[in-house]
Amino acid sequence: MVTQTPSTVTRPARKDLRRNSITQLLLGLAIVILVNIIGSYLFYRLDLTGEKRYSLSPATKKMLKNLDDVVYFKIYLEGDFPAGFKRLRNETREMLDEFSAYSDNVQFEFINPSSGTSQSERENTYRQLVEAGLNPTDLQVKNQGGTSTQIIFPGAIVSYKNKEIPIELLHSQIGTPPQEVLNNSVQSLEYTLAGAISRLSGGDRPAIAFIEGHGELPEILTADARQSLAEYYTVERVKINGMLSSLTTRNPKSKDSADYVVKNKYKAIIIAKPDSAFSEKDKFIIDQYIMRGGKVLWLIDPVFATMDSLQNQDQTIGIGMDLNLNDLFFNYGCRLNPDLIMDLNAMRIPIVTGQMGDQPKIDMEPWYYFPVVFSTTTHPIARNLNALKTEFISSIDTVTAQNVSKTLLLTTSRYSKVLNTPALITTEVMRQEPDVTKFTDPFKTVAVLLEGKFTSLFLNRVPAEIAEAPEIQFVATSKPTSMIVVSDGDIIKNQLQSSANGPTPLPLGYDRYSRETFGNKDFIMNAMNYLCDDSGLLSVRSKELRLRLLDSEKIKSEKVRWQLINVLIPVLVVIIAGFIMHFIRRRKYTRTF
């Protein structure tokens, strides 16, 4: 038997193998080049995440593609942070990368505000960021030597052309665990970033109006809301005074036509805490404004009650107010009840609880007539909102209205109770432990969204000669439209502080007693954006990212085990794969005849 060496047997095979390898390499390079050429003409991105977290909404894509100049983001989230803030930083970077994929005009940089070499340099940077509108967050960081305080600015400065605005990337929520706050902030990233671009690049701003003339809140008490809304809208104040032209305009149908078309002047109107009755004519004007597609944010107090009457006495009476609006609301699909809600989850206010020497002792105690309300809905208006502060709030019931849908936006807590009017309001409740068994009216609705085609309250009530008059052009059924009804006018009211120039407004939602900031401003802004938004940008807020948290206790107990698995298993896999490949090659290239 003759044995031949492998070299003499496999030489032709090796030439064929080399030729095949070169052919495959050239073919692979040709395919890569071809794919890149095709990719330069086609744009496609594939999102394989379960909740489509990297898929931008159509409204965002449209806005990005229409940018005509550079939008520059300076994000102050660089540095050595705990894992949660690193996640927020990374998610922000990935979202901006996604924005950049749809528009070359989106540019950004990440900046470490604590990178200064000296303490004075860092403090100067911090001061500049605060003056620019960013709020710092103090972190307690654990290290080997104990804990240390670290200041971070989880926000960004966005500039476009000659305009610049600050945005907050971390949306704090009272009573919410830190991990959930971070997750909710990540969920809101597209809305936050796209909203900033929309504010800066928006063209003609829709007009909205605060209605006055019925004892509504004065300008200084809605100053912060008006200023915030002015970033998106042209904001005016309007007195109806029975004038048909207060909310509508009359334009000729054509250049030579004597016929007129009645149109709304304003995209939406705000009616904030009126205290006197509306005339039938004013109601008719508002009704016809709604019939023509107008949007309304109703902020109504059904009960008259003020803290002023408790300045010099321990109790007062809350009484129902007749604003002559009950039939209007009932016709549209809701009823504001003349009651007061007490809630154990309430604002704290200062109260004198005793004497310390010759000075009164003042403590912060819960004032159950000022409920702190939450949102439990997934609707974009109220989704992931911080708690809202209220004052003397009432309940809302929904009633049947054809072609109108209702969405509950805000409710009280499970520990609330309803007082029918006239209701006794007494400071004595702060000086004694509450009886929890009496707070048995849970989750009372205090804000509701009504959407659909509304029927006019004045249908079959207006004489034909008036209904058919060219200056009126009565409309019996509305276009598809919407309104929001809140049973508290103070939800839009900002507090005041004294200054050398007189009272100045504080930010909406800030409470000067507890020094906490509540979600009132976000609610008002979301409500108006929803009512006025035709682009659908607010729908981005409904996107949900599931929070996949690790078991911290299991991490501690099995830390070493998983470290060994992560280090040794990959090495063993490589070694075993090497032996298998070596064995296969020996069998392939060693033949015995």
| Neighbouring residues of 24: CB distance < 8 A, sequence distance ≥ 6 | none
- pLDDT value of residue 224: 94
In DSSP terms, 248 is beta-bridged to: 264
List the beta strands (DSSP E) in 357-493: 359-373, 388-389, 396-398, 404-411, 416-420, 423-426, 445-452, 481-486
Q: Helix or strand or coil: residue 256?
A: coil
Task: Report residue 53: phi and psi, to 5°.
Answer: -70, -20
- pLDDT value of residue 1: 47
Distance CA 409, CA 405 (A): 13
Positions of the chain with pLDDT under 50: 1-2, 6, 9, 593
Residue of 159, 155, 160, 109 whose CA lies nearest to 129: 155
In DSSP terms, 296 is beta-bridged to: 269, 483
| Neighbouring residues of 39: CB distance < 8 A, sequence distance ≥ 6 | none
Distance CA 105, CA 69 (A): 6
CB atoms within 10 A of CB 115: 11
Distance CA 142, CA 149 (A): 9
Cα–Cα distances in angstroms (integers) from residue 429 to residues 294, 338, 351, 442, in the given order: 43, 21, 11, 19
Distance CA 65, CA 57 (A): 13
- pLDDT value of residue 36: 79
Residue of 53, 55, 67, 57 whose CA lies nearest to 535: 57
**Both tokens assigned to 418:** 């309803």
Q: At what angle do helices 189-201 and 178-187 cross, to 10 degrees?
A: 50
- pLDDT value of residue 502: 84
Cα–Cα distances in angstroms (integers) from residue 202 to residues 107, 234, 531, in the given order: 18, 12, 17
The length of the chain is 593
- pLDDT value of residue 79: 80
Cα–Cα distances in angstroms (integers) from residue 88 to residues 62, 170, 184, 339, 389, in the given order: 25, 8, 10, 44, 28
- pLDDT value of residue 24: 84
Residue of 243, 299, 237 whose CA lies nearest to 274: 299
**In 40-70, where does DSSP find H-type helix?**
58-65
Burial class (CB in 10 A: 0-12, 13-18, 19+), 398: middle
Instruction: Name the DSSP letter for residue 439.
Output: -
In DSSP terms, 366 is beta-bridged to: 348
Cα–Cα distances in angstroms (integers) from residue 256 to residues 251, 263, 410, 468, 473, in the given order: 12, 19, 51, 22, 20
- pLDDT value of residue 265: 94
Q: Cis bond leading into 422, ω under 30°?
A: yes
Instruction: Name the DSSP letter for residue 51.
Output: T
Reported as type and span, the H/E element at residue 297 is strand 295-299
Buried b (16+ CB within 10 A) or exposed e, 521-545: bbbbbbbbbbbbbebebbebbebeb
